[in-house]
Structure 1
Amino acid sequence: MSSSDYISRKSRAYFNEVAKYYPILSVSGPRQAGKTSFIREMKPDFDYITFEDPDIRQLFYEDPRSFLEKYDHNAVFDEAQNIPELFSYLQGMVDKDRRPCRFILTGSQNYLMQHNISQSLAGRIGLITLLPLQLGELKDTSYWTDDVYELMHRGFYPGCIVNEIPTSIFYKNYISTILERDISDLIHVSSKRNFRLFIKLCANYAGNMINLTNISNLLNVSATTVSNWLSILESSYIIYFLQPYFQNFEKRIVKTPKLYFYDTGLLCHLLGIKSGDALFHSKHSGHVFENFVITEKYKKAFHNGDEISLYFLRDSNGVEVDVVEEMGDDNIMFQEIKSTSTFNSSLAKNLNKFQSKSLNISKKVIYNGENLKVNDVVYEGWKELV
């Protein structure tokens, strides 16, 4: 990717703010989210050391102290999880000298990165999450399209977009890389075929509550194994969970979380959807659109360094509100997400099914249509997510 193809990231301001206060920064996120390009944009004068290179790893282990004397500040350590001892050495170094932004850590195996950070660097490290591109980063580029189905099908990984790699090729290789390099140490070799099937099963649960028992029966593995595999996908920023909101409502509320994917392009690939047009006609289009909207909310918040509290609401009769967003001071917003482009007041029908005596509730429908307000419900087109 040439510098002219680079899409600038909204995380710049938050990165600069965090860099004022911590001696070490960690930039985490899914593989190929653009972490390395982002760091090089932010700190072009830093030395860049990748521990993916076996020769570099050998140099470190031959004489760790001399190695770190050479790179005692203004250094980026990529694939840092490959050197677990690095974290303890850095702890000692920054305890003696807490100059801000001495080191930047990143890596593709987030499960191991998080473990090492929590063990050695708590309180010494500023955490930055970089997810795939958000709408606001694409809007003023040549890669933008007003066709939301094309956007969702292509997905939001920078390398796929700027290099114009066919999605069938990009996501096939993406999944293989995850299996062979990122999680191979976390699952048994004989489980890899099952794990590939497991990821596809997860795609079919996107936007739904996941049933551990059903998946364990289909794959002939234990529910504990399924739970562990979900944790691996979650720590790798492949999936996330939306928790149920069950406070202050006079109904029996479901307490099982719903599963979503961080990238709709990967989701479409796993579902076998070959194009934006195929997505438009797919039975999965509603859930993919819901996934897209909720993930955009998280991207915008994470990249700005903001807190966001999103939930869903579902009662024992199956009546559901797609998103409950806490707005602060006992204010919440009910949000329904619909892929249709046609206004109909019935889109908001579930927003009136839940009442609370202690909360102030506002109401919104996010859909593929025009902005308007009808009674107490705001109808908002998806482009407002920019």
Structure 2
Amino acid sequence: MIKRKIESDFNESIRQFPVTGLIGPRQVGKTTLAKSSIYLSESIYLDLEKISDLNRLNDPEFFFEENQDKTIILDEIHHLPNLFQLIRAMVDIHRKPGRFVILGSASPALLRQSDESLAGRISYIEMMPLSLLEIDQTESWEDLWIFGGFPEVFLYSNTKSKSNWYRNFVSSYIHRDLPQYGLPADSKVTRQFLMMIASSNGGILNYSTYAKSLGLSIPTVKTYLSFFVEAFLIRELYPWAVNPKKRLIKAPKLYYRDTGMLHYLLGIFNRDSVFGNLILGSSWESFVIAQVSSVLLSDDEMYYYRTHDGAEIDLLIRRNNSWLAAAEIKFSSAPVLTKGTYIAMQDLDIELLHVIVPKNENYPLAKNVRVIGLRGFLEFLDSTK
């Protein structure tokens, strides 16, 4: 089993909070982590997609009272959103750490499907696909990029199995998961929209373009996209837009969170088809941003910066109201920066710009600019915690 870096955060949350929420896309390893925790040896696991486990909760209040000395793990809790209100009441009656662990494949808002909150009682931890820092250095970073970071896919030895896995994964989200979360959508339109986002991965969001292509209203497009984001399929990277003296781009960029899913939707199944595709640069950006996100603190913020005059930086990371890091993302062994990058550094008072490249490099490119491999950059970020 691959050891996940968030395991210590998960265990600490169990020791501290009455309720721990472990959220992330399907098949990312949430159930495996919860079941393997040494702090949950006295626990009851309920899969709310199984009728037999649902039947055990015909009288949930009685069940919770009878098992208040054990940690109750509730998997796919969105099937019973009314449980949030009862969990809140049970915690208030008998508050102790580790009473409940809830697992969900969507954001807290989608899981609840209501205004019921467990604020002050719950710690949410997001679990992401595999990070470069979680796999052995002898493993191929290219495989993680090309085929994605879902643990089961990563461990498959042949391309056909990986492709079949993604076929089932995408189909499940389109036909079952997103409708269960409340997306009132035609499955054909959902697939078409996901493929359109894949084709323009890394591009600046334009609702009008999508609405026109899909034959939908702009509010409907916004609804679709919000479900894709809340289900951990798509990431919105917002611009840093607080400089009143500059004409700034103010719309977010859209990136797939997992490059394996991105490549599957684009019909890319191997290294050669990635390298020969126009998506190469934006795919690498998606991978880098996802990897960076996996090692940041939960309160850290990521942005990009672009002005109408051409000043641009691909990735800005902010912590405690100051810049933690700034980076250009280049799939190149000899990266070159534009004048606009240096102007952006001046605009934002960036003291050091990293240029992230695939290979394990670390050398100065220019004054206040350093080329660094992705793994090295992740290790740097991890060391700042």
TM-score for the superposition, normalised by structure 2: 0.89
Moved more, 65-74 or 277-286: 65-74
Alpha carbons of structure 1 residues 110 and 331: separation in structure 2 relative to 1, 3 Å: closer
1:269 aligns with 2:259: no
What is the rounded CA distance, in whole Å, between the counterparts of 1:116 and 1:70 in structure 2?
Answer: 27
What is the rounded CA distance, in whole Å, between the counterparts of 1:16 and 1:183 in structure 2?
Answer: 30
What is the rounded CA distance, in whole Å, between the counterparts of 1:240 and 1:306 in structure 2?
Answer: 15
SS at match of 2:15: coil
1:145 aligns with 2:140: yes
What is the rounded CA distance, in whole Å, between the counterparts of 1:267 and 1:18 in structure 2?
Answer: 32
> By how many angstroms is 1:106 displaced?
0.8
Q: What is the letter of the counterpart of residue 339 of structure 1?
A: F
Q: Which has the higher contact order (CA 8 A, sep 6+)?
A: 1
> By how many angstroms is 1:264 displaced?
0.7
Q: What is the letter of the counterpart of residue 65 of structure 2?
A: E
1:311 aligns with 2:316: no
Q: What is the letter of the counterpart of residue 372 of structure 1?
A: Y
Alpha carbons of structure 1 residues 208 and 300: separation in structure 2 relative to 1, 3 Å: same
> By how many angstroms is 1:227 displaced?
0.6
What is the rounded CA distance, in whole Å, between the counterparts of 2:15 and 2:79 in structure 1?
Answer: 27
Paired residues for 1:329-344 under 5 Å: 330-331=322-323, 333-341=325-333, 343-344=334-335
1:198 aligns with 2:193: yes
1:347 to 313, 337, 343: 337
Alpha carbons of structure 1 residues 326 and 107: separation in structure 2 relative to 1, 3 Å: closer
1:75 aligns with 2:78: no
Q: What is the letter of the counterpart of residue 335 of structure 1?
A: A
1:106 to 103, 120, 137: 103
Q: What is the letter of the counterpart of residue 336 of structure 1?
A: E
Alpha carbons of structure 1 residues 181 and 357: separation in structure 2 relative to 1, 3 Å: closer
Q: Is the 8 A contact 2:23 2:106 kept in 1?
A: no
> By how many angstroms is 1:125 displaced?
0.7
1:84 aligns with 2:81: yes
SS at match of 2:292: helix
SS at match of 2:5: coil
> By how many angstroms is 1:349 displaced?
4.1
What is the rounded CA distance, in whole Å, between the counterparts of 1:58 and 1:47 in structure 2?
Answer: 14
What is the rounded CA distance, in whole Å, between the counterparts of 2:282 and 2:117 in structure 1?
Answer: 40
Tell me the equivalent position of 2:172: 177
Moved more, 229-238 or 353-362: 353-362
What is the rounded CA distance, in whole Å, between the counterparts of 1:248 and 1:57 in structure 2?
Answer: 53
SS at match of 1:354: helix
SS at match of 2:187: helix
Paired residues for 1:165-314 under 5 Å: 166-185=161-180, 186-188=182-184, 191-248=186-243, 250-301=245-296, 305-314=297-306
Paired residues for 1:155-174 under 5 Å: 155-164=148-157, 166-174=161-169
Alpha carbons of structure 1 residues 39 and 295: separation in structure 2 relative to 1, 3 Å: same
> By how many angstroms is 1:202 displaced?
1.0
Aligned residues: 370
Question: What per-residue deviation string (whole Å, max 9, x for no partner) do you get for residues 92-136 of structure 1?
Answer: 111011110111001235466543585131211111110111111
Tell me the equivalent position of 1:3: none
What is the rounded CA distance, in whole Å, between the counterparts of 1:251 and 1:355 in structure 2?
Answer: 14
> By how many angstroms is 1:33 displaced?
0.6
What is the rounded CA distance, in whole Å, between the counterparts of 1:252 and 1:36 in structure 2?
Answer: 47
> By how many angstroms is 1:54 displaced?
1.8
Q: What is the letter of the counterpart of residue 154 of structure 1?
A: F
Q: Report % sequence identity.
A: 29
- Root-mean-square deviation (Å): 2.2
Q: Is the 8 A contact 1:25 1:105 kept in 2?
A: yes
> By how many angstroms is 1:308 displaced?
1.8
What is the rounded CA distance, in whole Å, between the counterparts of 1:378 and 1:328 in structure 2?
Answer: 24
TM-score for the superposition, normalised by structure 1: 0.89
- Structure 2 spans left out of the alignment, 5+ residues: 380-385
